[in-house]
Amino acid sequence: MTDAKIKELISTLSLEEKAGQLLQVSGLLYDDDALVTGTMDYFKITEDEKKIAGSVLSVSGAEKLKKLQDKLMSEQPHHIPNVFMLDIINGYETIYQVPLGQGATFNPELTEKLAEVAAKEGAAAGIHCTFSPMCDLVRDARWGRVMESTGEDPYLNGLMGAAMVRGYQGDDIKAKGRLASCVKHFAGYGGAEAGRDYDTVELSERTLRESYLPAYKEAIDAGAKLVMTSFNTLNQIPSSGNKWLLKDVLRNEMGFDGMVISDYGAVKEMVNHGIAKDDTAAGELAINAGVDMDMMSFCYIRGLLELVAEGKVSEELIDESVYRVLKLKDELGLFENPYKDASEEDEKKLILCDEHRALAKQSAVESFILLENKENVLPLSEESGSIAFIGPFVDSHKVYGSWTFPKDEKTMVTIRQGIEGLNPKNNCTFSQGCQFFTKNVKCKNGERLEYDILKAPAMLEEAINAAKKADTVVMCLGEYHQQTGEAASRTEIRIPKGQMKLLKKINEVNKNIITLIFTGRPLELEEVSELSKAVMVTWYPGVETGNAIADVLFGKQEPGGRVPMSFPYTVGQEPCYYNRFRSGRPNNGTLDQGFVMGYIDQIDKMLYPFGYGKTYTEFSYSPVTLSADKLTGNAPIKASVTLKNVGERPGTETVQLYVQDLYGSVVRPKKQLKGFEKVTLNPGEEKVVTFEITEDMFRFYDINMNFTSEPGDCRVFVGPDSETENCAYFTLEA
Ligand code: GLC
């Protein structure tokens, strides 16, 4: 429709219908097996309110949504089509690696393809929009939602967020197999104090702008059609009531002209925050701040009429929000085709098809991070002899992130199934060894894990006997998948105690241990690494878990991941991030020093730093050479290294480029990632890897909050991770 037609339609709507278009309700209101992704406290909606809601979330299925669309449109006074939204953050039914694992791939092109697959499957299932990408910068592993992010670096997160938007949306969201994407959670949600979900965020404007906002901006510049406001207060103002954030920054500076939706109940939660005295006041705050659609809090549907009558909210303002909602529906083609791509036939053809599974497997392989490989125990071979696979993940299908809801989790290939499918010559045994926990646990999604104390001794004995007989042990351990994601912040970041006990017992009878770690966050792995010869993080790989692990363990493919979020020695070091500022009392990474920045009981280093990851071969780097020693705004320089595969196997290195501004009108980070390139070389092969260094890489908010670069001494680093000292100096000239 033309804008004029949309505005003409708006002119025919009653104020109540307009308020209805600004209401999104849970599919649970219409369908018992819709997903529950938020608090259910607000469910006192009336039948009339159900009828005029403009959007529904968390229900999917072609047949189901076609029927629901028919029902809702028939009850709409002007038969306006509903827009269906769902959290598809790492796959619809072909569930692939969690986003933090995708960050580990350092492969935005792969992430774009994955998002395209997710969109095809979700669109066939009748979905129109996905609540993805999550572009929150994360620095504290205690926060459960780090699993949904792509890590601690603004540059990497921006590339990943933009790739997801392109993958979901393509060039036209009306096209078949495309979804509108929603950038979340705007803004700064990842900065929750001490990693406590939903807690306060306090950021200087400079840190907000330099570290937290860039990734949202990249995703918006990639064309995202929606932005979701975050639960948190940002400097004491809840995002859903923050006019500066939503109007000045999002609309005026970033140029976002799409639809703003609140997070689940976030408008009403401003009453809890103590910034609105009641729901009506919360609705007034939100609509005036710029929130177009109220997800599941009913403040708009129950308050806007009164607010207009009292002159507190203008109907013109409401019309602007209704326009953006109807514009989205029009861009999706829903007025012409309310079902969009919903098709039972396409569901059967696309969902979990071989092509999609193959991509999920690639995503897993490229996300696995090899942290240790002493004595090159990996990859396994016939020489590895008999192998005992031990741990609660051995036969578990719970190898998918907690923000995915497979209809049948048996679609996840287990480790045992993957190994048996590969059918190596080695004699392999499989035993659980222990349960996920050593106590009864009620998960945030209501799932209960009952600890069976009677079973425990026999499980342990079976595993110990298997380890005694085996030449090699592969431990399959980690966090239970519901220990990460939303409402899953932890004060400890260790694998469950019972699993640690199992590892120690196995180590007493067999030292030849490889440990796989399933997790949605960086964990404390120092003791795991001391008890293992090899350690590999697998995150939650999804449907192809067992096949990807089998391929990587037996060397058919190599693990491609690099650390996207720092792994500390201990949780006491959190928050952690590589791009820190220098201190006036620099720490030399040891404990034999006094009166310096840092701790007296822990060296000021990461166990595994950002960008770190081993391959199955070895690479050497030549010193960095520069094409010139002066850089000006219109004369970039080139930084090069010669990379050589000095090992015995082919391998792929993720060559990383970092920059440093040695002096500024405000202090500058020790390093900032500004480029990376994945290079595959055969043994003995070498390649010159060149990066272009440009002036804009050095722009920041100076002492006067002007976004600019400043002349002075700088250096570039090119190396395998954020601790590289392989660097060269040059001068940035005005
Ligand atoms: C949740 C999450 C958000 C999600 C939304 C809809 O509370 O914060 O990420 O997209 O509700 O399920």
Amino acid at 718: V
* Residue 303 and residue 280 in contact, taking contact as beta carbons nearer than 8 Å: yes
As a whole number of angstroms, the distance between CA 552 and CA 546 comes to 10
DSSP 369: E
189 in contact with ligand 1, CB cutoff 6 A: no
As a whole number of angstroms, the distance between CA 579 and CA 633 comes to 24
Positive or negative torsion for Cα 462, 465, 469, 472:
positive
Which residue of 264, 269, 295, 403 sits with most ligand 1 atoms within 8 Å of its CB, as the best mutation to test the pocket? 264
133 in contact with ligand 1, CB cutoff 6 A: no
Residue 16 CB coordination number (10 Å): 14
In the predicted model, is pLDDT for residue 27 greater than 80? yes
DSSP 209: I
37 in contact with ligand 1, CB cutoff 6 A: yes
CA of 671 relative to ligand 1 center, distance in Å: 33
* Residue 104 and residue 564 in contact, taking contact as beta carbons nearer than 8 Å: yes
Query: Exposed, middle or buried by CB within 10 Å (0-12, 13-18, 19+), for 563?
Result: buried
Q: What tokens does 428 get?
A: 């392999």
486 in contact with ligand 1, CB cutoff 6 A: yes
Q: What tokens does 682 get?
A: 């055969």
Q: Whose CA is nearest to atom 3 of ligand 1?
A: 263
Tens digit of each residue's pLDDT (9 = 90 or more) over 183-203: 999 999 999 999 999 999 999
pLDDT score at 47: 85
* Residue 299 and residue 265 in contact, taking contact as beta carbons nearer than 8 Å: no
* Residue 160 and residue 97 in contact, taking contact as beta carbons nearer than 8 Å: no
Tens digit of each residue's pLDDT (9 = 90 or more) over 207-253: 999 999 999 999 999 999 999 999 999 999 999 999 999 999 999 99
Alpha helices in 177-293 (DSSP H): 205-207, 214-221, 243, 269-273, 279-289
- Nearest one of 582, 654, 583, 572 to 606, comparing CA atoms: 572
CA of 132 relative to ligand 1 center, distance in Å: 10
Tens digit of each residue's pLDDT (9 = 90 or more) over 475-495: 999 999 999 999 999 999 999
As a whole number of angstroms, the distance between CA 418 and CA 551 comes to 8
Which residue of 83, 98, 146, 228 sits with most ligand 1 atoms within 8 Å of its CB, as the best mutation to test the pocket? 228
Residue 714 CB coordination number (10 Å): 23
β-strand 651-661 against 712-719: which pairing, if any? Answer: antiparallel
Atom of ligand 1 nearest to the CA of 89: 10
Amino acid at 553: L
Tens digit of each residue's pLDDT (9 = 90 or more) over 120-178: 999 999 999 999 999 999 999 999 999 999 999 999 999 999 999 999 999 999 999 99
CA of 486 relative to ligand 1 center, distance in Å: 8
Long-range contacts from 503-509, C-beta under 8 angstroms, 24+ separation: 503/475, 503/477, 503/528, 503/531, 503/532, 504/531, 505/460, 505/463, 505/464, 506/390, 506/433, 506/463, 506/464, 506/467, 506/473, 506/475, 507/531, 507/532, 509/464, 509/467, 509/468
Tens digit of each residue's pLDDT (9 = 90 or more) over 704-724: 999 999 999 999 999 999 999
CA of 175 relative to ligand 1 center, distance in Å: 26
CA of 224 relative to ligand 1 center, distance in Å: 17
Q: What tokens does 612 get?
A: 């770190």
136 in contact with ligand 1, CB cutoff 6 A: no
CA of 294 relative to ligand 1 center, distance in Å: 12
Q: Average pLDDT for residues 664-678, to the nearest whole number? A: 98
In the predicted model, is pLDDT for residue 32 greater than 90? no
DSSP 531: T
Find tokens 């840190």 and name the residue: 207
pLDDT score at 674: 98
Q: Whose CA is nearest to atom 8 of ligand 1?
A: 263
Q: Average pLDDT for residues 307-336, to the nearest whole number? A: 98
Q: Average pLDDT for residues 628-633, to the nearest whole number? A: 92
- Complete edge-to-edge strand list for the sheet that includes strand 534-537: 369-373, 534-537, 513-518, 472-478, 387-390, 428-431
38 in contact with ligand 1, CB cutoff 6 A: yes
Q: Which residues, at least 6 apart from 675, have a Cβ–Cβ distance to it below 8 Å?
A: 656, 657, 691
Half-sphere exposure of 495 (CA within 13 A, CB side): 29
pLDDT score at 46: 84
Q: How far apart are the first and last CA of the chain?
A: 50
* Residue 232 and residue 275 in contact, taking contact as beta carbons nearer than 8 Å: no
Residue 337 CB coordination number (10 Å): 12
pLDDT score at 43: 63
Q: Whose CA is nearest to atom 11 of ligand 1?
A: 264
153 in contact with ligand 1, CB cutoff 6 A: no
Residue 263 bears catalytic tag: yes
DSSP 627: S
- Nearest one of 266, 188, 246, 257 to 220, comparing CA atoms: 257
87 in contact with ligand 1, CB cutoff 6 A: yes
Tens digit of each residue's pLDDT (9 = 90 or more) over 532-590: 999 999 999 999 999 999 999 999 999 999 999 999 999 999 999 999 999 999 999 99
| Per-residue buried b or exposed e for 224-233, using 16+ beta carbons within 10 Å of the residue's own CB | bbbbbbbbbb
pLDDT score at 40: 64
* Residue 698 and residue 732 in contact, taking contact as beta carbons nearer than 8 Å: yes
Beta bridge partners of 614: 370
pLDDT score at 558: 98
Tens digit of each residue's pLDDT (9 = 90 or more) over 33-53: 778 777 766 567 888 888 999
148 in contact with ligand 1, CB cutoff 6 A: no
As a whole number of angstroms, the distance between CA 541 and CA 99 comes to 10
Q: What tokens does 511 get?
A: 């030292």
Atom of ligand 1 nearest to the CA of 58: 12
| Per-residue buried b or exposed e for 423-448, using 16+ beta carbons within 10 Å of the residue's own CB | ebebebbbbbbbbbbeeebebebeee
As a whole number of angstroms, the distance between CA 38 and CA 195 comes to 19
Query: Exposed, middle or buried by CB within 10 Å (0-12, 13-18, 19+), for 649?
Result: middle
As a whole number of angstroms, the distance between CA 189 and CA 232 comes to 6
| Per-residue buried b or exposed e for 481-502, using 16+ beta carbons within 10 Å of the residue's own CB | bbbbbbebbbeebbbbebbbeb
Half-sphere exposure of 726 (CA within 13 A, CB side): 21
pLDDT averaged over every residue in the chain: 97
Q: Whose CA is nearest to atom 10 of ligand 1?
A: 131
Catalytic residue among 263, 279, 341, 346: 263
pLDDT score at 61: 97
As a whole number of angstroms, the distance between CA 191 and CA 381 comes to 44
Give SS3 for 515.
Answer: strand
- DSSP per-residue codes, 381-406: -GGG-SEEEESTTTT-S--S-TT---
In the predicted model, is pLDDT for residue 31 greater than 90? no
131 in contact with ligand 1, CB cutoff 6 A: yes
Tens digit of each residue's pLDDT (9 = 90 or more) over 253-305: 999 999 999 999 999 999 999 999 999 999 999 999 999 999 999 999 999 99
Tens digit of each residue's pLDDT (9 = 90 or more) over 54-112: 999 999 999 999 999 999 999 999 999 999 999 999 999 999 999 999 999 999 999 99
Atom of ligand 1 nearest to the CA of 35: 12
Give SS3 for 714.
Answer: strand
As a whole number of angstroms, the distance between CA 454 and CA 46 comes to 50
Tell me how far the alpha carbon of residue 338 is from its chain's centroid: 31
pLDDT score at 222: 98
As a whole number of angstroms, the distance between CA 17 and CA 75 comes to 11
As a whole number of angstroms, the distance between CA 163 and CA 110 comes to 9
CA of 266 relative to ligand 1 center, distance in Å: 10
CA of 37 relative to ligand 1 center, distance in Å: 6
Atom of ligand 1 nearest to the CA of 131: 10
* Residue 534 and residue 377 in contact, taking contact as beta carbons nearer than 8 Å: yes
CA of 263 relative to ligand 1 center, distance in Å: 6
Q: What angle do CA 364, 367, 368 make, to 5 degrees?
A: 90
As a whole number of angstroms, the distance between CA 240 and CA 695 comes to 36
* Residue 715 and residue 659 in contact, taking contact as beta carbons nearer than 8 Å: yes
Find tokens 């970039």 and name the residue: 636
In the predicted model, is pLDDT for residue 505 greater than 80? yes
As a whole number of angstroms, the distance between CA 666 and CA 103 comes to 30
- Nearest one of 116, 124, 125, 106 to 60, comparing CA atoms: 125
Q: Whose CA is nearest to atom 12 of ligand 1?
A: 37
671 in contact with ligand 1, CB cutoff 6 A: no
